[in-house]
Amino acid sequence: MKNKNGSCIAIGNFDGIHIGHDTLIRRMIELSHETNQDSIIITFKFVKKDLKKSNYNIKYINSRNIKLELLKSYSVTDVVEIELDDVISKYSPEQFIREVLIDKYNVKNIVVGYNFTFGHKASGNVSTLREFQDKYGYKVEEIYPVKYNGIVVSSTLVRNLLNEGKIREANNLLINNYTIFADEINIDFNKNVAFVDTKSSIIIPACGRYKIIAGNQEMTVAIITNKDGSVLTFDKKIERNENIVFLDRIV
């Protein structure tokens, strides 16, 4: 049964949960409590090859499944993943507002980041949401840039830091330390080595040696990347189904 008071929705791609995402989601949850509305997080799955963000070469901070798990950890009413297929990806901004946010979720409050875009060819933004709020009876709240040491925090920034092997700097921006989850990589437990194919969608930090935690053990992993993928070699015995939590790079 739908909440008669409607829903309060946070919308974004949410690649990796960094301190900017956390601010946005927590504000949505706070607002949903103030208004006695359902709390809903909406994120996207890019399925069209010609969409910029669905490029097969892009690497993400978290895989799709892990991202959804992290979002569900906020204990909201619902986490919704919208597939941007041939139909929805061509919605005009107003179509998206009317047919998704209004008709499906009875939205009354929308919380988004300052750089949020939506609709066909990303033609809608925060101003577009405000343009239609009186017509469709909702309110928009914009979350302004969250900064760390004077720098705007974004998923792109975190991805760049990981690509450069700057683990400590990336961890300062993420809600949880950067982690490669056990189901995202192939581990040879006999040889104590893991391999990540180049087709994988997740980011592997730059070549080098890193201090990590696997299970309850602190150890070192050496990463070597070539044209086929990345090889991770552990200096201690790694057990099955242990996530690899990165702490720092070893110089």
Structure tokens at 220: 């070192």
Instruction: Say what the pLDDT of residue 1 is.
Output: 53
Measured distance CA(243)–CA(172) in Å, rounded? 19
Instruction: Say what the pLDDT of residue 47 is.
Output: 67
Instruction: Say what the pLDDT of residue 69 is.
Output: 94
Measured distance CA(240)–CA(243) in Å, rounded? 9
Say which residues have a Cβ less than 8 Å from residue 9's Cβ, sequence separation at least 6.
28, 40, 41, 42, 101, 105, 107, 109, 110, 111
pTM of the model: 0.91
Q: pLDDT, tens digit, for every residue of 140-183?
A: 999 999 999 999 999 999 999 999 999 999 999 999 999 999 88
Which residue numbers in the chain have pLDDT < 70? Answer: 1-2, 47-57
**Alpha helix segments (H runs only) across the chain:** 19-35, 64-72, 93-96, 126-131, 133-136, 155-163, 167-173
HSE of 199, CA atoms in CB hemisphere, 13 A: 1
* 211: DSSP letter: E
In sequence order, the β-bridge partners of residue 234 are 221
